[in-house]
Amino acid sequence: METREITLHGNRVSYRTAGDGPEVIVLVHGITGSSETWAEVIPYLGEEFTVVAPDLLGHGQSAKPRGDYSLGAYASGVRDLVASLGHDHATVVGHSLGGGVAMQLAYQFPERCDRLVLVSSGGLGREVHPLLRAAALPGSEFVLPLVCATKLRDAGDAVWHTLGRFGLNAGPDLDEMWRGYASLADRDAQQAFVHTLRTIVDGGGQRVSATDRLYLAAELPTLIVWGEDDRIIPIEHGVAAQEAIPGSRLEVFEGAGHFPHRSDPDRFVDVLIDFVEHTVPAEVDEDRWRELLRSGAPA
């Protein structure tokens, strides 16, 4: 596994990569996350595939410019990264926010998406953890510098205890939440977080939903992975999505929370490899695409 950088549209984009297999797997992380969330699975996937895991703009080691942090912009950025590395299409795996990005990419650029894998994905229902709803409220940009102050971040035990009181699973969930919290140390990262969050969440919950367009995934091999004890986005969203996407597959990780790929990385790798090996990459048929659009979403 290597960490590399590339400049796209004048901005630094950091990404991890491994392997040189004929099939390309793109791993897209969640909000406040980075490609590090996939560190345990990338080396093993690299034995079978070519793996690309970017730090989205505003996250990790990538640039944090003032700009567009919408799902559409993120999807275009992932497409451009993959294309710049010489790949025409890939199986796109998205976790949480990354699931929304993956669905948007499959919708905007269906010819670029071989398969779709949604891991505890956003964009499939209104419900989301109260911490994220609160962070999206007006004025949060003025509170974040205080909440993420160095002295408070150094008091890790207090923050850890507070996060635990919100029902987050000990282990991977708290580890990832702490890592995300610590990533908001500088002003640019805080602003990128707020801009990103407000495009998808408001005080009432998730404001962007792909549920009215899931019928378009009828021709796209789709795998849905969810932690049974997810407290960030409820598993019911995954169950409903599986019912709405013909032929899709749902894998529930018992005892896992919002980060099933970290709770049980071995099983995650096995499930993903099995899915890729037993499905045929989607091929875009313009006539079929028009037919689906004209049919409209099922009632």
For tokens 């290597």, the residue is: 2
Number of alpha carbons in the 13 Å side-chain half-sphere of residue 100: 27
Written as six digits, the tokens of 275 are 């899915």
- Judged on CB neighbours under 10 Å (0-12, 13-18, 19+), 170 is exposed
Contact 276, 49 (CB under 8 A): yes
- Which of 230, 237, 263, 264 is flagged as catalytic? 230
- Quick check: is 186 catalytic? no
Find tokens 């597959």 and name the residue. Answer: 249
96 as an active site residue: the answer is: yes
CA separation for the pair 240, 100 (Å, rounded)? 15
* DSSP classification of residue 140: H
| Residue 263 buriedness (CB in 10 A; 0-12 / 13-18 / 19+) | buried
**Rounded distance between C-alpha atoms, residue 14 and residue 171, angstroms:** 26
Helix extents (H) in 58-186: 71-84, 97-108, 130-135, 140-147, 150-154, 156-165, 172-182
Concerning whether 173 is annotated as a catalytic residue, the answer is no
Residues belonging to the active site: 96, 230, 258
